[in-house]
Amino acid sequence: MKASWHGSLRVRHTLMFGLMFLLAGSVVLGGVMILVQNSMDYSLAVVFARKMEKYSPADNVWVSDAIATDEVSRQIIMDSMRENLLFKGGLTLLGASLAATAGAWWLSGRLLRPLNTITETAHRIAGRTLHKRIELDGPHSEVKSLADSFDSMLDRLDEAFAGQGRFIANAAHELKTPIALSRTLLDVAMARPDSTPQLQRLGENLLAVNLRHERLIDSLLTLARAEDAVTDRRPVDLAQLAEYALDVTAKAAADQQVQVRAQLAAATVVGDPLLLEQLIRNLVDNAVRYNHRHGFVWVQTLEEVRQAEIIVTNTGALISPHEVPALFEPFRRLTDRVGSARGSGLGLSIVRAVAQAHGGDALAIPRPDGGLSVRVILPRGDAARA
C-alpha cells in the first residue's frame, strides 16, 4: 500500500529541499542586487563627478542644469539595472529551483528505496506469511541496521509460531490415540450379547462424546496446518468441492428441514485440495447447523479474471455487526457459545485461516432478517502463487 501524496516522505523531502533552495537563492539574489547597487552607485558617482569638472564654475545656470540632467540619467541607469537584474535573476533562480526540486525528487527516491523495500516486505509478511525476509544488501547504515533487526524479529516470531503449530499438531495426534482406543472398547462392550439397554444407551452417549472430541481434534489439526505455509498446490474447482460438501450435509439439512439452493459455476483456483475442501465443508456445515427449521441455505461459486469466490448465505438468528469479528476467533460460536454440543467454534476460524494461507480472505455480513452471508475470495492461478 503506497502512501498518499500529501503523506509521502519523498514528497515532503522534495518540497522541503526545493523550498530551502528557493529561499537560499532568493537571499543570494537579494544580496547580489544590494552589492551591485552599491557598486553601481559608487561607479556612477565617480563617472559623473569627473564629467562635472568640465563645466565652468562661473556659469551657475549651465552647471545646475547639467547636475539635474546627470542625476536623472543616473537614476534611469540604476532603475534599468535593477529591473534587468531582478527579471533575469528571477528567471535564473526559478529555473535553478525547478532543476534542484527534480534533483531532490530523484535523490529522495534513491535514499528512501531501502525503506520502501522494508515497507513492502512488511506488508507481504503481515498479510500472508512469516517466512519472507527483507535481506537488504548494501553497506552498513542506519537503514540496513533497521532491516537486520526486523529480520531477526521475524526469525524469532517464525520460530514461535512454528513451535506453536507443532505443539498443536503433536498434542492432537497424541489425543487421538486414547480416543480411538476408548471407541474400540465401547464398540466391543456394546456388541456383547449380555449388554443391557442401559449399557447400550451409555455406550451411545459416550460414542457421541468421542465423536465430538475427534471432530475437535481434527479441527485443531486443520487450523494448525492452515496457518502454516501451503506447499501442496494444484488446480481445484470450487464448484466441485461445493457439490461434495452439499452431498455430505444433505442428511443434516433434511433432518433440520433446511432447504439448500446452489448456483455453482466453474471457479478454478490453485491451492491445497484438502484444505479448500475443509473450508467449503465448514461453510456449508455452519450454514446448516446454525439455522432454524424450514430455513434456507444459498451456496454460490463464481469466477472473475483475477479471483474466484464462494458465497454461502443462510437464515438464522439475528447477529449484530459488532459480533461478526468475534465469529472468526477460535472457539467462538454463533449461538449458545459456551457448552454447546453443536460445534467446537473453530469453523469460521479454519475458513479464514485457509483462505489467508492461499492469499485470499473471508468476510462475513449479517443479514437484516437473520442469518449470515460469508464470502470467501481466493486469487486464481499465478496470483495465488504470488
Contacts of 139 (CB under 8 A, 6+ apart): none
Q: 266-311 pLDDT, tens per residue?
A: 999 998 888 898 899 889 998 998 888 889 999 999 998 889 999 9
Confidence of residue 335 (pLDDT cuts 50, 70, 90): low
How much is the pLDDT for 101?
84
Answer whether 314's CB lies under 8 Å from 282's CB. no
Q: With contact defined as beta carbons under 8 Å apart, do 199 and 186 qualify?
A: no
Nearest 10 degrees: Cα torsion 271, 272, 273, 278: -110
Distances (CA, A) of 44 to 6, 37, 72, 191: 52, 10, 12, 127
CA 192 to chain centre: 60
Q: Measured between alpha carbons, how far is 116 from 127 in angstroms, rounded to an integer?
A: 17
Query: Where do we find the cell 439439512?
Result: 253
CB 157 within 8 A of CB 130: yes
The per-residue pLDDT for range 77-104, each reduced to its tens digit, is 777 777 887 888 888 888 888 888 888 8
Helix or strand (DSSP H, E) at 379: strand 372-379
Per-residue b or e along 325-338, where b marks 16 or more CB atoms closer than 10 Å to that residue's CB? eebbeeebbbeeee
Residue 107 reports pLDDT greater than 60 = yes
- Taking only the tens place, the pLDDT of each residue in 139-182 is 676 777 877 887 888 788 777 777 776 777 777 777 777 888 88
